[in-house]
Structure 1
Amino acid sequence: MLNKKKENEPLLGKTNRIVEGTTITGDINSKADFRLDGILIGKYISEGKLVIGPSGEVQGEIVCKNVDIEGRFSGKLQVAELLSVKSKAVIKGEVSVGKLAIEPGAIFEATCEMKSQLKAINNGESKKEKTA
């Protein structure tokens, strides 16, 4: 029983990687962080962070917690927390984010919707207040 993995074991320090020169057509589902320096044509879903390196490219859809983009993206992008767009990045399509950081020089040709990070507070009353 020593080799048995715990189901709730954290994935800290574990990162998947697709290297330059690799093309994947299809869907990727991951709980761990992911670095993409190749090409993905399809859908990527993760509870972790996605880094699209300078040679990386995604054509399709991304649903993720955090994303750093240095390469190219075209399609639909849904980021629960922070989308960080580096100066060499090219983004085209639809973007929905919690927070957005774009460095000067980046190409950002997308419709963008910023989701509110409001949290409900209950002060012991039946009425709920929302604050930023």
Structure 2
Amino acid sequence: MFNNSSKSKGDGKSMLPSSTINIIGSGTSIQGDIVCEGDIRIDGQVNGLVSTKAKIVVGPEGDITGDLVCQSADIMGKVTGIIKVDELLFLKGNALVKGDVYTNHFEMEPTAKFNGRCYMEDEKPTETHKNGKSVAKKEAEQPQA
């Protein structure tokens, strides 16, 4: 059934692709977290955390319910959750993002939709009150005695 022609000559290692690109194809559904080192493209459905030290691409049919953590991301599908990107987050086409975003650079095409808050600072947001003002802002706005 399997023959030796699938092995490279001399070193005994198989000729599997050495690429670090991971693909979750259309029609695939994953329940759980994905943690990888290389780039990942998601065209299927994922319910859970997706984390990589490289790039995440969510294709037009991709649907993620969970957080994304990565170096950079191109989103064309749907993401519901918190997105943390070290460099560039790019929402393309008919992307739909529902959740807060933490990134250094943010780009968005006019057809994309984003419902959430965007933080482009190194600091985490302070606690907010019902009136929407942060604790730090509220204290700073009070008159000096």
Higher helix share: 2
1:74 to 52, 74, 80: 80
Q: For 1:64-103, list aligned pairs within 5 A.
A: 64-103=70-109
Report how far residue 98 of structure 1 moved.
1.0
Residues 1:48 and 2:59 are matched in the alignment: no
User: 3-state DSSP class of the match of 1:32?
Assistant: coil
Residues 1:22 and 2:28 are matched in the alignment: yes
Over residues 67-116 of structure 1, what are the superposed CA-to-partner deviations in whole Å (9 max), with x where a residue is unaligned? Answer: 00000001111000000000210001111011000001111111110135
- Aligned partner of 2:39: which letter? D
Structure 1 runs of 4+ with >6 Å offset:
none
Question: Percent sequence identity over matched residues?
Answer: 38
User: 3-state DSSP class of the match of 2:48?
Assistant: strand
User: 3-state DSSP class of the match of 1:55?
Assistant: coil
- Aligned partner of 1:48: which letter? A
Q: Which of the two has higher C-alpha Rg?
A: 2
In structure 1, the partner of 2:120 is 114
In structure 2, the partner of 1:123 is none
Residues 1:32 and 2:51 are matched in the alignment: no
User: 3-state DSSP class of the match of 1:79?
Assistant: strand
Q: CA RMSD in A?
A: 1.6
User: 3-state DSSP class of the match of 2:107?
Assistant: strand
Report how far residue 17 of structure 1 moved.
0.3
What is the CA–CA distance in structure 2 between the aligned matches of 1:3 and 1:47, rounded to whole Å? 30
TM-score (norm 1): 0.77
User: 3-state DSSP class of the match of 2:81?
Assistant: strand
Unaligned runs of 5+ in 1: 5-11, 117-132
Unaligned runs of 5+ in 2: 1-10, 123-145
Report how far residue 45 of structure 1 moved.
0.9
Higher strand share: 1
Number of residues paired by the alignment?
108
